[in-house]
Amino acid sequence: MKIVACNSNLPLAEAVAAELHLPLCNVSVRRFADAEVFVEIHENVRGEDVFVIQSTCAPTNDNLMELLIMLDALRRGSARRITAVMPYFGYARQDRKSGPRTPISAKLVANILVEAGANRILTMDLHAMQIQGFFDIPVDNLYAAPLFVRDIKARHADRPIMIVSPDVGGVVRARQLGQRLNTDLAIIDKRRERAGVSEVMNVIGDVRGRYCILVDDIVDSGGSLCNAARAVMEHGAEAVEAYVTHGVLTGQAVERITNSPLKMLTLTDSIAATDIVAAAPNIRQISTAELLSRAMRAVADESSVSSLFD
């Protein structure tokens, strides 16, 4: 197997390669003067099982184009099988028609990835499970929950923790984490007036005296997460933290989180931390390199990937 890294998250790609005791494939991904993407593979990939690591995070379209052109280059180089390893799958929130004459962009991206040459997709915590059905190739959707469970147990073993879903849509995710930790669940009932703006309405569940842990798949503007944190504190929680898989963190999100009641926001490294994120006193990242490397090895060896969910 060979591992190819594009530019969106080189530290993660290097960590995955180190876990697998393999060097990164010698490739060049650069820009022409007019910002066109150019890819060149400097070693033979004919007949190889190739894994391309690229999160389609901001700048989303640039990173997506890098991935597509790399897939095409590998296909034209006669790679035997090409797996697109996308720790963060951009456009996943556009998984349905939100109104008349609107696109289903996640389906469009799925079509483009397959057309470009992907034979398999390996991703983590898709925003909507039905996106797996948008592809006509195998899709392995990994879960960050085992990483979160291990980290929560290590950091909060003696605390009266309670898992909290910041909205009704995340109840299944929060319930699964709560079952792994054998703890109770609370739910934030909120009303969203418009995109990016939310108003907390009620807290379902008794959070008084509990160390609350909010769980979500994506934090973007941070508004919903911070509102949820304030709500549980107003309802008598001892303290509140958050565990979120993908730290998109646009606009004033980092400042908003820094000034919120959140004692800590724990993210995975599916999206590389910017300087401002790395400097934030209450934001930290945990590595997904071991999880991704084990999944990649399982794919290469044709062994079980679902066993990694346990």
Query: Could you list the mean pLDDT of each consecutive 10-residue stretch along the chain, which spans 310 residues?
Result: 97 98 96 96 97 97 98 98 98 94 97 98 95 96 96 94 92 94 92 61 92 97 92 95 98 96 98 96 98 96 85
Domain count, the chain: 2
Pair (85, 17) in one structural domain: yes
Type of residue at 261: P
Q: Which of 97, 107, 153, 190 is catalytic?
A: 190
Provide the pLDDT for residue 218: 97
Type of residue at 70: M
**φ, ψ dihedrals at 31, nearest 5°:** -115, 140
* Structure token digits, residue 56: 């389609």
CA distance 294 to 130: 24
- To the query of whether residue 107 is one of the catalytic residues in this protein, the response is no
**What size, in residues, is the chain?**
310
Pair (94, 216) in one structural domain: no
* Structure token digits, residue 40: 């060149």
Q: What is the pTM of this model?
A: 0.94
Q: Which range marks the domain in which residue 86 is found? A: 2-142+290-309
CA 239 from centre of chain:
25
Pair (122, 175) in one structural domain: no
Pair (130, 154) in one structural domain: no
CATH of the domain at 214: 3.40.50.2020
C-beta neighbour count of 179 within 10 angstroms: 13
Pair (282, 168) in one structural domain: yes
Pair (36, 130) in one structural domain: yes
Q: 3-class DSSP state for residue 164?
A: strand
Pair (98, 199) in one structural domain: no
Pair (260, 299) in one structural domain: no
CA distance 62 to 41: 19
Pair (138, 151) in one structural domain: no
Provide the pLDDT for residue 308: 80
Pair (167, 256) in one structural domain: yes
Pair (228, 267) in one structural domain: yes
Pair (269, 149) in one structural domain: yes
